[in-house]
Amino acid sequence: MARTLAPDRVVPLLTGRFGSPYLHRLACTSTQRLLQPGLPEGAVAVCEEQTAGRGRLGRTWTAPAGAAVLCSILLRPPPGRQAAELSLVGGLAVAEVVEEALGAPAGLKWPNDVLVSGRKLAGILAESVSGAVVLGVGLNVNQAEGDLPPDARTPPASMRTVDGVARDRAPLLAALLASLERAYDTWGELGLAGLHAEIARRDVLAGRRVRVGELAGIAAGIDAAGALVLDTPSGRRAVISGEVSVSALDAP
């Protein structure tokens, strides 16, 4: 399905303030670099193919042209809100859209991945830029199994590899922006506590043996501040950032 995410296909589907202005490129290094801080909140950048897409910790995010939803949204969080929490806010928005499309549950792997049946379908990247936050989303949609990276830390998937359906990405992107706007507004008003129940019930690490840096223990959930809570031999600890590895016996 070769339909593009050009403005004439996406903009008529938008129902909220996210997506104005709507910047579309056939190819770019990364949508994260297309949004300048002077643009209004809700500006969205989209491309069909990223040549140097970025994930967390400097990793790359690649996909065949026209196969994924690759977008970034410019946000201006209200005072007192922690920008790092937006990875979970964005993850929840993606998970809701994926669940609606697939009719199957989607999980959140702290701090920024969306999984279906233990395989990574999407990643979120929040970056602070001159007082604003650029929230990047990479959602695998129409890749075939052979298009997915064989050496990824978490086994990858696309919506197509889950249910065999090739999808028009324009309605998915419009639904994603609407879902993100709702989640973002709730977060802006109530903080992560306003979304905590929905995040917690999708937490794929809860009850599993994990390691974050030098700290190892049993994941006891994600708290209302967005930290990963670990029960360790020395007591309960809250981890605010880091790279999670899961025990082979407890891999989600």
* Residue extents of the structural domains in the chain: 7-200, 209-250
Contact 227, 240 (CB under 8 A): yes
Treating both helix axes as pointing N-terminal to C-terminal, what angle do 169-190 and 86-102 enclose, rounded to 10 degrees? 140
195/176 Cα distance (integer angstroms): 16
Q: Which helix (H) or strand (E) holds 228?
A: strand 228-232
Which residues are CB-neighbours of 141 under 8 A, at least 6 positions away? 67, 68, 69, 158, 159, 160, 167, 169, 172
164/155 Cα distance (integer angstroms): 17
Task: Take residue 34 and report the two structure tokens written for it.
Answer: 């297309």
Q: For 204, how many CA atoms within 13 A lie in the half-sphere containing its CB? A: 27
Architecture category of domain 209-250 in CATH: Roll (2.30)
Distances (CA, A) of 151 to 9, 112, 127, 154, 156: 34, 19, 25, 9, 9
User: pLDDT digit of tens for each residue in the chain (252 aa)?
Assistant: 458 999 999 999 999 999 999 999 999 999 999 998 899 999 999 999 988 655 544 555 567 889 999 999 999 999 989 999 999 999 999 999 999 999 999 999 999 999 999 999 999 999 999 889 999 999 999 999 999 988 788 899 999 999 999 999 999 999 999 999 999 999 999 999 999 999 999 999 999 999 998 899 999 999 999 999 999 999 999 999 888 988 654 554
Work out the number of other CB atoms within 10 angstroms of the CB of residue 116: 23
> Regarding the domain with residue range 7-200, which homologous superfamily does it belong to in the CATH classification?
Bira Bifunctional Protein; Domain 2 (3.30.930.10)
Q: To the nearest 10°, report the CA torsion of 198, 184, 158, 72.
A: -160
- Asked whether the whole model's pTM tops 0.95, one would answer no
